[in-house]
């Protein structure tokens, strides 16, 4: 299935029609606390943390769906958005 990146022209219409949205997610490791922290330049308000990357990915998907549903005030997707996760160093 084709995934359209959030923020590109026409992404809202594509999401309303049930298309899958691709979201960029930046991940850093907070070594003081020992957790991975994810933020997104595409989806305002997306901030998640977890002790493992796999748990972080699940948290990011759930948070992204909740934020998109709040933005559209209804369920917009049947499948979770694709998170383009990138590990960044500080």
Write down the pTM of the prediction: 0.76
Classify residue 32 by its DSSP letter: T
Domain locations in the chain?
3-87
Token pair of 79 as six digits = 């499948």
Determine how β-strand 35-39 pairs with β-strand 20-30. Answer: antiparallel
DSSP 17-61: TT-EEEEEEEEEEETTTTEEEEE-SSSTT-EEEESSHHHHHHHHH
pLDDT tens, the chain, 90 aa long: 577 888 888 888 887 787 788 888 999 998 899 999 999 998 899 999 999 988 998 899 889 888 888 877 766 555 666 666 666 655
Given CA atoms 35, 53, 5, 72 in this order, what sign does their dihedral have?
negative
Select from 3.30.160.250, 2.40.240.20, 3.30.2310.20, 3.40.30.10 the CATH code of 3-87: 3.30.160.250
Query: Cα separation of 5 and 22, whole Å?
Result: 4
| Ramachandran angles phi, psi of 71, nearest 5° | -65, -40
Q: Which residues contact 32 (CB under 8 A, 6 or more apart)?
A: none
């Amino acid at each position: 299935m084709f995934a359209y990146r959030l923020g590109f022209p026409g992404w809202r219409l594509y999401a309303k029609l049930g298309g899958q949205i691709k979201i960029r997610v930046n991940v850093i490791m907070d070594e003081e606390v020992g957790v991975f922290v994810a933020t997104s330049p595409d989806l305002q308000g997306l901030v998640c943390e977890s002790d493992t990357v796999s748990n972080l990915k699940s948290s990011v998907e759930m948070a992204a769906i909740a934020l998109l549903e709040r933005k559209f005030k209804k369920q917009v997707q049947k499948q979770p958005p694709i998170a383009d996760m990138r590990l960044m160093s500080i």
